[in-house]
Structure 1
């Protein structure tokens, strides 16, 4: 019993931070905390019934996700995840994901291939914008996992924020050809990765992300709020 009891304290601390993170993220995503709003640590700690330290740690995680900004001597503010931020993340993905695709073609195992195919099937069957988004993101996340490099998976997670992506894709999915094209490109990537063709997988992924970058680079700044 004493062995099991030892880690109880740290586990509770981590769970409080996790709860604070989930609550703050929800407040940002659903608009209760608006872009540009200052996030008062003391007020939130009192409202959530937790310590300021736990709120601060949750805010640091949200800053890593790009959902809040930290300003020295001023504190944390809700980030405006508008078109400029979206394009920054797409530019970073354009540098990162072709390399991920190459590594996945070299290192994937049967379980990875099964997971990639599962997400392709899920996206093809999706009937809502949120379901299509989650399946598309799931495919890319599974590809990062197939590199067998956890650091790449964490970087990918920080670049494609699921909550923002759902809102954006609700707009892009209004194009009648988008979903079929996305599925077809994912299928091509699957074939290249299954065959172990790193060069082809890299080229396909570069074209795939470039397509998204071109789409959003042509959009007016306010369009990221649609959907």
Structure 2
């Protein structure tokens, strides 16, 4: 990832004039609070309110939530571990930004790792799990707004790739999803619905391979599924232009 560079968009408070008074309050350290702050910032990043390259100012977040900077730092570290934020020592925090080449690398890694994770998960699927997988795939097809579509799609992938004993691999895959999420969202808006039909068909092919226990076919379809998106990303340099 290239070093984050300051851009005009910054994390701004959303609670009006009360923010300043709350910011002056002294509050004790609370792990639950830092988790809640991380979840809120994650939602803003995933939703595009905080785009790649946007600076996140600790003092503004502290004022908004009425906390000291300690839980803010913990929240930012958690987001950095998830790949959503880039921390530069003695400088600040920015929403992670990728170049086209870096995003391509992320997708190449996903092409290799997600089929592997799926192959590890399939032998552990309970017989009754297939109905849930189908339900999740149908939820993807029913989603309309880009944000909802991507969340339901992620739910589907996470569910079919849930592999006990593969925590490190699962966390790596999750981090790669975080890194590529914003650009996939922009691609979805750019492509409108033209790619959705292919996505639905590929999901059904993956489901069929899972249903009959064909691990090799499931791996192949999953790899092709991700490869198709990678090629669209590679041919869309405008995804990486700042607004």
TM-score between the two structures when normalised by the length of structure 1: 0.78
Aligned to 2:147: 130
CA positional deviation for 1:87: 2.5
Aligned to 2:118: 101
Q: Cα distance 1:129–1:74, how it changes in 2: closer, same or farther (>3 A)?
A: closer
- Work out the number of aligned pairs and report it: 211
Match of 2:189 among 170, 185, 205: 170
Q: Does 1:148 align with 2:167?
A: no
Q: Cα distance 1:225–1:132, how it changes in 2: closer, same or farther (>3 A)?
A: farther
Query: Using the alignment, how far apart are the partners of 1:88 and 1:13 within structure 2?
Result: 37
Stretches of structure 2 that go unaligned for 5 or more consecutive residues are 1-28
Stretches of structure 1 that go unaligned for 5 or more consecutive residues are 1-11
CA positional deviation for 1:207: 1.3
The answer to whether the 8 A contact 1:112-1:142 is kept is no
Match of 2:201 among 146, 165, 184: 184
CA positional deviation for 1:97: 0.6
Q: Does 1:110 align with 2:127?
A: yes
The answer to whether the 8 A contact 1:99-1:202 is kept is yes
Query: Using the alignment, how far apart are the partners of 2:100 and 2:120 within structure 1?
Result: 30
More helix by share: 1
CA RMSD of aligned residues (A): 2.8
Q: Secondary structure of the residue that 1:110 maps to in structure 2? A: coil
TM-score between the two structures when normalised by the length of structure 2: 0.74
Q: Cα distance 1:163–1:101, how it changes in 2: closer, same or farther (>3 A)?
A: closer
Aligned to 2:229: 212
